[in-house]
Structure 1
């Protein structure tokens, strides 16, 4: 059984939970997935599915999830996380996504500029800063699951924190954009358009090959930047 099949099975069984248990398990699941981005996803999903089955068995016997796991699910999750070792494959996958997204978007933005200037130093800085930012955001969002109760005020707080995070990312990107490194060179408009078209073709093949709806924002953003670059060149 593949990881995607485990996730699909988890989604199906989760519908059998009563509202109270469903909220309990959903928080537990979100916390675990945020905290295991560099763990083996297959092992994590098997563990989550086993826990879900335990909760369902307890529910059938008239015991809710809080009674079964206790009132401190975060502690239970943290104890389980200690037993999971980091996966080099997961690290490479996570790093590849960040590297690909930030590197791709930065290159497309540079190619869209009329100057035709490519700064490899800036691209590297964008990738490094993007990796650090995404890593800390994922870690923070995981902690937020059990730190703030689900109220209207907490939802507003989450929205404000997301806006603040986005603002910081834009500000950091603007600051890096002002830097000039020695690794700069000019390319012609024809070469720029050729590179953009190659990137767009590769992005299209990649998206339709993996066929994952959650990757749609990455695909749409990349294609939008590519089209913008071509239009500006024309």
Structure 2
């Protein structure tokens, strides 16, 4: 008998806790968030999700006898969660690099497809310093966000105030990351690698296909339509390069049509996610 995936356990856990009271559900969701993010790049996700599924089953059974989550798991869930994490199997160094590579790789993909490269009439310019800078900034922002989540979740006192302050801190992190991203745009393009037409278009086509295939094959069902976003963005960059090369005329109307296509893609993505969520809730 094949073992279920981490996503299956996650979905089943989320369905189970729907039957809990609002306070118990919030308590468990905080515990769930803490366990998943505390050692996000060092502990086996499947083992964590299986443990959470078992805990949710036990809590649902206890709630039928009138026992609350804080009474069942204790007033200091953080200490219990930390002890659980020390017993969880560690992932290999290769798996850690794969996880980090996925996060950074997705950022690089959308940097590439969103105009993050220098461009002129003759060539597309790949600036390695900009890509390294994005990875560095993203690493700092991710570490700060995980720290904020871990510090402010799994609390039984002043929960509303802590959530508010955590939201403010996260907003500051995002603002700082955005400012750093804008600063990266000032890196001179002469430090980049020039790729002439038609090799630039061929590279864009290849990256777009690989990115779309990754999202469609590897991602959970609710994220699969991001492949469509990738394709639309890729088409936009290809049209820009063809216009620079004089192959097509990229008129103002063409830009408007492309912008409408992007908006429609986002709408489709949102509708798809709503459909997936409702389908899971009804199953």
**TM-score normalised by structure 1 residue count:** 0.84
Partner of 2:199: 191
Residues 1:6 and 2:21 are matched in the alignment: no
Q: Deviations over 1:184-215 (max 9, x none)?
A: 22112422222112211122222222352453
Aligned alpha-carbon RMSD (Å) = 2.8
Structure 2 unaligned regions, length at least 5: 244-283
Q: Determine the structure 1 residue equivalent to 2:119.
A: 113
Question: Are positions 1:87 and 2:91 aligned together?
Answer: yes
Q: Distance in 2 between matches of 1:100 and 1:30?
A: 24
Q: Distance in 2 between matches of 1:183 and 1:228?
A: 25
- Equivalences for residues 81-230 of structure 1 within 5 A: 81-88=85-92, 90-108=95-113, 109-111=115-117, 113-114=119-120, 116-146=124-154, 149-151=158-160, 156-180=164-188, 184-215=192-223, 219=227, 222-230=230-238
Distance 1:142 1:58, change over 3 A: same
Match of 1:37 in 2: 40
Deviation at 1:20, TM superposition (A): 2.6
The whole-number CA distance in structure 2 between the counterparts of 1:162 and 1:222 is 27
The reply to whether residue 22 of structure 1 matches residue 25 of structure 2 is yes
- CA drift of 1:100 comes to 1.0
Asked if structure 1 preserves the Cα contact closer than 8 Å seen for 2:212 and 2:226, the reply is: no
Structure with greater contact order relative to length (CA < 8 Å, sep ≥ 6) = 1
Report which of the two structures shows the higher radius of gyration computed on alpha carbons.
2
Higher helix share: 1
Q: How many residues align?
A: 233
Q: Please state how far the C-alpha of 1:28 moved relative to its aligned partner.
A: 0.8
CA contact (8 A) 2:152 2:162 kept: no
Aligned to 1:46: 50
TM superposition shift of 1:118:
1.3
> CA, structure 1 residues 86+221, in 2 after alignment: closer, same or farther (shift >3 Å)?
farther
C-alpha distance in structure 2 between counterparts of 1:35 and 1:9, whole Å: 21
TM-score, length basis structure 2: 0.71
Structure 1: segments with no counterpart, 5+ residues = none
